[in-house]
Chains A and B, each alone.
Chain A
Amino acid sequence: MLDWQIMTHYFPFLLKGALITLEISVISLVLGLLAGLLAALWILSTNPLLHWSGRFYVWIVRSTPLLVQLFIIYFGLPQFGINLNPFWSGVLALALNTGAYNAETIRGGILAVPKGQREAARSLGMSKALTMRRIILPQAMGLIIPPLGNNFVILIKDTSLVSTITLVELTLTAQRLIGSTYKPFEMYLMAAVLYAILTTGASLLLRQVERRTVWGHA
């Protein structure tokens, strides 16, 4: 049977770990969104250097494990004098990783906007950049947000890998508490519930944003 007393006693510690997980998720999410947008625009660029740089970034990230990327940044970079603490190593790895997936999502959304929209804007004398910012991206948002939400959920779950480089987030907190309580089921169960709350919260939040990108059906 579940040891409820142990659970209520240690819950605040796990909650604190969950807050670190939330923090690293939010920062990585914002940076990953910027990286994704930038990479998507590069890939769609007619400039071959930008196009291939974007393609290379997405390819290298998607064809290697996140854990290895994380280790390269945390254990490998110090060899070149770049020392990042566990938190920022985690943010960098997660942001670059989710950024590559976001890039594909955003690129797909941009390409799905009917080409007549671009033509109409360009025929009115709007520049390429203005057309992208004012006409294409706002419409692509409606198509991008649902799959982007999927990437966000994956990102939140992937933050657990950062426990391997000693960042005391939710997973590592649970592991440490097991060391002193010998209650793995209770501790991991509580961690799982907290992850579920974080990911579900993110999904619900995004659904609200999604609702605001539907026009003319008010």
Chain B
Amino acid sequence: MNDSKSRPIPEEPMIRLHNLEKSFGKNKVLKGINLEVARSEVLVLIGPSGSGKSTLLRCVNNLETPTGGEVTVDGERVNRTDLSARAFQKHINRVRTHMGMVFQHFNLFPHKTVLENILEAPTQVLDRNAAELTVEAMLLLDKVGLAEKRDSYPAQLSGGQQQRVAIARALAMRPSVMLFDEVTSALDPELVGEVLRVMEDLAAEGMTMIVVTHEMGFAERVADRVVFMAQGQIVEEGVPKEIFSNPREERTKRFLADVLK
């Protein structure tokens, strides 16, 4: 899978974090992160809990507003500070339509059916034909293997099924970037595989992805690059093989020893 991606990387990175900082009160969660993600690259973020990897991910689409630094996606500055509150809301809503996010607890809309969940944002936010969107939504559901669940409510689905719907829902916006925030952590072990498979397919199609996960097997198989974070900083990064079989930093070694034993 990694071989299929050895195409030349374009100049402009898809995601660029420059000196990214985030504090909650006095607590510095991100201490100046510099990171670039190339088009079609799959970047996997690993690290102990509290290392700031989820916060980093949430800063990319501004669910958390950075307290310093720059976030740029597809050449556009995300965390603009030159706008009025109202203008910034307009800006961020538009920017977010290009980024899909999948959450640990799925966050499907419980009062809407599977199909309605997928159609909600595209029909309400994008100026696109409803019939055409429905066709597209069904193709996405088919892709995640849940076409027959179109009229079910989230409460009637297993966790794995819900998470696959959540991925389809994010894809329905035709994002150029997908952000995955520990998407298998809340799942029963036997349901993890079905979700990872969908993500693997997506990676193979050339989607740009940042994946925060504890699934080291997935990281090894699918990641183009693995970044290890601890205490709000990037400790080490490299291709999976390098990180997993020959980590340079002591902290990386300790972390891997803990999760892989």
Question: Which residues of A come within 8 Å of B, CB atoms?
Answer: 114, 116-117, 119-128, 130, 134-135, 138-139, 213, 215-218
Q: How far is the CA of A96 from the CA of B80 in the complex (A)?
A: 42
Complex Cα distance, B113 from A218, in Å, reads: 12
What's the count of A-B pairs with C-beta under 8 Å?
76
Chain B contact residues: over half helix, strand or loop, or mixed?
A: mixed
> In the complex, what residues of A have CB within 8 A of residue B61's CB?
123
Complex CA gap A39/B26 in Å reads: 34
User: A213 contacts which chain B residues (CB < 8 A)?
Assistant: 111
CA of A139 to CA of B109, assembled, Å: 9
Q: Which residues of B contact A (CB under 8 A)?
A: 61, 63, 89, 93-94, 96-97, 99-101, 103, 105, 107-112, 120-121, 124-125, 152-156, 166, 169-170, 173
Query: Which B residues touch A217, using CB under 8 A?
Result: 155
CB distance from A115 to the nearest CB of B (A): 9
Contacts of B63 in A (CB 8 A): 119, 122-123
B254 to chain A, nearest CB (A): 32
Interface contact B169-A124, CB-CB below 8 Å: yes
How far does the alpha carbon of A123 sit from the alpha carbon of B61 in the complex, in Å? 7
Q: Which residues of B contact A216 (CB under 8 A)?
A: 110, 152-156
Residues from chain B with Cβ under 8 Å of A135 in the complex:
109, 120
Chain A residue with the shortest CB-CB distance to B157: A216
Q: Is the CB of A124 within 8 A of B173?
A: yes
Query: In whole angstroms, how far apart are the Cα atoms of A138 and B110 in the complex?
Result: 10
Residues of A within 8 A of B96 (CB): 122-125
Chain B residue numbers with a CB within 8 Å of A138 are 111
A18 to B94, CA, bound (A): 54
CB distance from A7 to the nearest CB of B (A): 48
A124-B96, A124-B173 known; A215-B89 Cβ under 8 A: no
Is A120 in contact with B107, judged by CB distance below 8 angstroms?
Answer: yes
Instruction: Give the distance to chain B from A32, nearest Cβ to Cβ, in Å.
Output: 25
Known: A116-B103, A135-B109, A215-B110. A121 touches B154 (CB 8 A): no
Residues of chain B contacted by A122 (CB below 8 angstroms)? 63, 96
Docked-complex contact B103 and A124, CB < 8 angstroms = no
| B121/A127 in contact, CB under 8 A | no
* Contact with B103, one of A120, A215, A218 (Cβ below 8 angstroms): A120
The answer to whether B103 touches A127, judged by C-beta atoms less than 8 angstroms apart, is no
A68→B93 CA distance, assembly (Å)? 47
Among the listed A119, A121, A139, which residue makes an inter-chain contact with B121, where contact means beta carbons less than 8 Å apart?
A121
